A and B are shown apart, each in its own frame.
Chain A
Amino acid sequence: MTTLSEKDKNIVKTFWAKVAGREEQIGCDAVSRMLTVYPQTKTYFSHWKDLSPGSDPVRKHGGIVMAAVTDAVSKTDDLTGALLSLSELHAFTLRVDPANFKVLSHNLLVVLSTTFSNDFTPEVHVAIDKFLTAVALALSEKYR
């Protein structure tokens, strides 16, 4: 869609300061929800022993995903560059259908809403949604 405005980037960075220290819990919750609410996403994790909400592999993966998203928050001026190797990984090795990026994004937004309710205003929501869409786009760069 559109590029992120300076206002969007500032809103995202300001809000993300609240996330500090809770990345693993939030990431764990988001991945747990994704697997529960959108079971088709489980097909990518058939190699895990335990796909239940909050399980060890889920928690670990949530942490990895959130670390990458947090890193992207600090690199909003060049998301394509920042996510280059992750894009190659998702495109050539993991081969995740990019439609699923939106699914995980939605679940992350829901977790932010349950965790930060009043602070997750519509204004913050739209900025973060735009940011996650831009991240998803950068992740899709190397697909074709």
Chain B
Amino acid sequence: MVAWTDFERVTIKDIFSKIDYEVVGPAAISRCLIVYPWTQRYFAGFGNLYNAAAIKSNPKVAAHGKVIMEGLEKAVKNMDNIKATFTELSTLHSEKLQVDPDNFMLLGDCLAIVVAAQLGKDFTPEVHAAFQKFLAVVVSSLRRQYY
């Protein structure tokens, strides 16, 4: 059971209410595919990922960015039980998608960078810390069903 401070709870909900999922999701996943190109191995069916321009304009990448944000929103709504909320998603990533779980934090770090750009000065060290803790809990929950 994760212990969230009041500050962390308020901060996470605040961040997610401020960011535009349609912008942040696609930006984070495309940044991940560009900065850590080996992550492209999981998106063979997405078509043209040959260069940064192609990735940024790829509609399947953009659509997937939104899917990811919707998944994260479930965690925001269930902060006291992210583990259980993500049981199925964890099994999916492990058994069907077979994603190396070390990659989860790569996307997490890209998400932090995109949210940082969106929030600018408001992304203070304390807000940043709350967000990375949230991401760490999400990543840990996604890793749980791997064996």
Contacts and interface: CB of A to CB of B under 8 A. Distances in A.
A53 B56 CA distance: 35
A64 to B, nearest CB: 19
B31 to A, nearest CB: 5
Interface string B31-75: 100110000000000000000100110000000000000000000
Nearest to A29: B125
Interface residues of A, number: 21
B126 A109 contact: no
Contacts of B31: 122, 125
Contacts of A126: 34-35
Contacts of B123: 110, 114
A125 B117 contact: no
B12 interface: no
Interface range for B: 20 to 34
Interface of A is mostly: helix
In the complex, which of the residues A32, A37, A122 has the most CB atoms of chain B within 10 Å of its own CB atom?
A: A122
B128 A33 contact: yes
A117 B35 contact: no
Interface of B: 30-31, 34-35, 52, 55-56, 109, 112-114, 116-121, 123-126, 128-129, 132
21 contacts: A33-B125, A33-B128, A33-B129, A37-B128, A38-B132, A53-B125, A109-B109, A110-B112, A110-B113, A110-B128, A114-B119, A114-B120, A114-B121, A117-B117, A117-B118, A120-B113, A122-B34, A123-B34, A125-B31, A125-B35, A129-B35
A36 interface: yes
**Majority-rule SS of B interface residues:** helix
A18 B31 CA distance: 21
A90 interface: no
A85 interface: no
Contacts of A118: 117
A80 to B, nearest CB: 24
A109 B113 contact: yes
Interface of A: 29, 32-33, 35-38, 53, 106, 109-110, 113-114, 117-118, 120, 122-123, 125-126, 129
